[in-house]
Structure 1
Amino acid sequence: MRTPRLILPAARPAPPAFTAAGTPDRPAVVLVAHGSRDPRAAVATEALARAVRLDRPEWEVRASYLDHDGPRPLDVLASLGARRAVLVPLLLTAAYHGRVDLPAVIRAAESLPVSVTATDVLGPASPLLLAAVCRRLPRVSLDAVVLAAAGTRDAAARQTVAAAAEALGARLGLPSAVGYASGPGGTAGEAVAALHSAGARRVGMAAYFLAPGLLYDVAARSARDAGAVAIAEPLGAAPELVRLVAARAEAALGVPLAAAA
């Protein structure tokens, strides 16, 4: 009589290491948004964070805000325990928040056990960012385009927005101009009017905005009142923007880039 063979259950894999904060020991990617009184902005930021989380499940992706909303970046970093974190500023220019607020967060985080690195801002005009801007433009025939931005008192930052508008025009093969919702520089409506004066008939407004909010509304209304035939939505969680955020984080983590940014 044959002796029955004993089949033992396979050994379970060891559980992942956990930090003091109770989360798996994996890189944390903290998105740092400006923040807004308009609740639509936080909704858009959380949607972008979810999209990056789905794209990179090996990371812990969190959203944070420099102003108005919560949580603050330092609070998120403090909750991570002893691990590595990358801050990705959801900013299109290296103006005040990029030059002052973000470095202040990194200095304050030196007292925490977390190791913090910050990436460059998302602007001004990488191929992925321009592709996201173009994706949001309505599919109508245009003969000129205005790149509408929030506005800043930082002259160097305004120059980078102007460079982005020029790059957008080159990509679309159209004359381009810049319009702002606030601060120095002409409004989006004034930019539309200038292009009309130069002979353009069908001017569209592209959005150099990551999320909806009061300033986006100001720019869109200004362009529309001046006769713009197409108004783009903010970038939101456009696939190209998700890839750009991931590429910034990958570069900081030393991971081979999956796509040029």
Structure 2
Amino acid sequence: MTPRLWLPSAAGPLVLVAHGSRDPRAARANEALAAAVRRLHPRGQVRLSFLDHTGPRPAETLLALEESGERRATLVPLLLTSAYHGRVDIPAALMDARAAGLRMPVSVSDVLGPVGGQTSALLLAALRRRLDAASAAAGVWSSAGPLDGVVLAAAGTRDATARETVSAVAASLSTALGGVPCQVAYASAAAPTGAEAVAALRDAGARRVGVASYFLAPGLLHEAVVTAARSAGAAVVAEPLGGAPELARLVLARTATAREPVCDLVKAA
């Protein structure tokens, strides 16, 4: 039986905000996550919106909710770091809604990645779920110890603070896997590449390297970093997090951190 979580009615409808992609697989993965959240939160509305490439956009979704009679809403960014999309695009989306006439209060939660230096146990459990599934399919069982090196494959960013949070996830994942070395790799904007990360682990003595995908959805960047890792000898490559049940629980947990952003409070004043 799927456990259900009841959120305070004061939270209003949840508007999940994904990055968006031209790759249709990305929209399907985000829809799978939204569906998983709905199963946990059957009494509330859960809407999915996108910052770019596809619709509906957050402003459109918020305006439609207000028109239907809703009195407030909560935005949950489906983002793994607080880089540009979290710091700039999410507030901009809310300001677009205000400019279009939105009046109801809107709270915004933290992203799904580390907050205040803490990596959620639910995020780590989702990463392990995907890594274990890939390991089992390949005849390797990661939680029992056969993997002796793990690459945490991420999209990449020039934001040093955001990269620090990815490194924090890698360190926490290493601990969760019993001390298996975990090396970050990026698809773009930062080093090392997937191939370089695998090579570094193998140079340090690892012989069975797995790749944990720090992505919510498949796409060009995910393919780039995991293809590079495979070319260097990675034995196991996990799927993106998508609709992992632990991630759905994390989405709901993040609503506890939701607050009205400063830019919105200033405008209201």
**Does residue 195 in structure 1 map to residue 201 in structure 2?**
yes
2:73 to 82, 85, 88: 85
Deviation at 1:223, TM superposition (A): 0.8
5 Å-filtered alignment, 1:1-261, equals 27-81=12-66, 82-110=70-98, 111-124=101-114, 125-137=119-131, 138-139=134-135, 140=140, 141-172=146-177, 173-252=179-258
Deviates more, 1:100-109 or 1:234-243: 100-109
Residue 115 of structure 1 aligns to which amino acid in structure 2?
P
Deviation at residue 251 of structure 1 after TM alignment? 4.5
Q: Distance in 1 between matches of 2:255 and 2:165?
A: 22
The number of aligned residues is 230
- 1:118 & 1:63 partners in 2: Cα distance? 14
Output the CA distance in 2 between the equivalents of 1:122 and 1:54.
19
Deviation at 1:249, TM superposition (A): 2.0
Task: Read off the aligned partner of 1:163 and give its amino acid letter.
Answer: A
Greater share of residues in helix:
2
SS at the partner of 1:148? strand
Once the two structures are TM-superposed, the CA of residue 158 in structure 1 deviates from its matched residue by 0.7
TM-score (norm 1): 0.84
The one-character-per-residue Cα deviations of 1:99-158 (angstroms, maximum 9, x if unpaired) are 001111223333413221100000032110011001000232200101000001111111
- Give, in whole Å, the separation in 1 of the partners of 2:173 and 2:212: 9
The question of whether the paired residues in 2 share the 8 Å contact of 1:204 and 1:230 is answered with yes
Aligned 8 A contact 1:205 1:230 in 2: yes
CA distance in 1, matches of 2:200, 2:182: 10
**How many angstroms apart in 2 are the aligned matches of 1:191 and 1:144?**
10
Structure 2: gaps spanning 5 or more residues: 1-9, 141-145, 260-269
Distance in 2 between the 1:42 and 1:64 partners? 10
Residue of structure 2 in register with 1:19 after alignment: none
Identity of aligned residues (%): 62
> Could you tell me how far apart the structure 1 residues matched to 2:191 and 2:229 are?
14
Q: 1:26 and 1:132, CA in 2 relative to 1: closer, same or farther beyond 3 A?
A: closer
Aligned 8 A contact 1:30 1:62 in 2: yes
Q: Deviations over 1:56-100 (max 9, x none)?
A: 012110100001011100000010114211100000000000000
AA in 1 matched with 2:125: A
Give the TM-score of the pair, scaled to structure 2: 0.82
Task: Report the residue type matching 2:97 in the other structure.
Answer: A
2:106 aligns to what SS in structure 1?
strand
| Kept after mapping to 2: 8 A contact 1:26/1:60 | no
What is the RMSD computed on CA atoms of the aligned residues? 1.7
8 Å CA contact 1:26–1:83 kept in 2: the answer is no
Aligned counterpart, 2:265: none
Q: Distance in 1 between matches of 2:113 and 2:43?
A: 25
1:250 Cα deviation after fit: 4.4
Decide whether the 8 Å contact of 2:74 with 2:258 is kept in 1. Answer: yes
Q: For 1:231 and 1:158, how far apart are their aligned partners in 2?
A: 21
What is the letter of the counterpart of residue 58 of structure 1?
R
Where 1:62 maps in the other structure, the secondary structure is strand
Greater Cα radius of gyration, structure 1 or 2: 1
- Residue 152 of structure 2: SS of its match in structure 1? strand
- Please give the alpha-carbon distance, in whole angstroms, between the structure 2 residues aligned to 1:90 and 1:190: 28
